[in-house]
Amino acid sequence: MKIGVMGVGNILLKDEGFGVKLLYLLKAKYDFPENVVLIDGGTAGIFLSPEIDYLDKLLIVDVVKAKGKPGEIKIYEKEDFFIDRLPLKLSPHQLGLQEVLLLNEIKGTCPEDVKLIGIVPKSIETGTGLTPELEEKLPEVEKKVLEILKEWGVEPVLKEQPEDPNIWWEKRVKEV
């Protein structure tokens, strides 16, 4: 069974980069079995279609425009994408995700199981780095990712020596 974990978002719009940052943290902390692929979806939208071809299961992490306080976590299922249960879009890549899943459904290559872990942002203004409200939610969303993967029969192994996650967009350029 081929499983994908995808972090989506725009790292240049504060909390919009939540999904991508979480993906980098997962890569740095855990070893994943060969049947699990980690996908930096960024803002690729419709161009993600080939990335999910023939995945059996797909877990997406992204921010969502939904009622709730900043940092509130919401879980959506595959059918939510197809019957418009998802809240209004925050940015163009979210429209792309729905289109990608529909395109893959038509092609016969859509994962049978799709879950979206959505988190309500505080700010999607221009800037790098998450707001404190979302930064503090990273461990909780990480735990949810691991729980879902476990339900799917996958248990990533914590690395003895976690790597630097290389969150390059949050690093300050040193003055010369």
CATH classification of the domain holding 77: 3.40.50.1450
Buried b (16+ CB within 10 A) or exposed e, 148-167: bbeebebebeeeeeeeebeb
Residues 6+ apart with CB under 8 A from 155: 146, 149
Check whether 139 has a pLDDT greater than 90. Answer: yes
Give domain status of residue 32, yes or no.
Answer: yes
* pLDDT bucket at 101, cuts 50 / 70 / 90: confident
Q: How many domains does the chain have?
A: 1
Mean pLDDT of 90-116: 81
Give domain status of residue 72, yes or no.
Answer: yes
pLDDT at 82: 74
Give domain status of residue 175, yes or no.
Answer: no
**If you average pLDDT over every residue of the chain, what do you get?**
90
- pLDDT above 90: percentage of residues in the chain: 74
Give the domain range for residue 67. 3-170
Give domain status of residue 37, yes or no.
Answer: yes
Give domain status of residue 176, yes or no.
Answer: no
Give domain status of residue 78, yes or no.
Answer: yes
| 3-state SS class at 12 | coil
- pLDDT above 70: percentage of residues in the chain: 90
Mean pLDDT of 142-159: 97
Residue 111: closest CA among 52, 62, 160, 156? 52
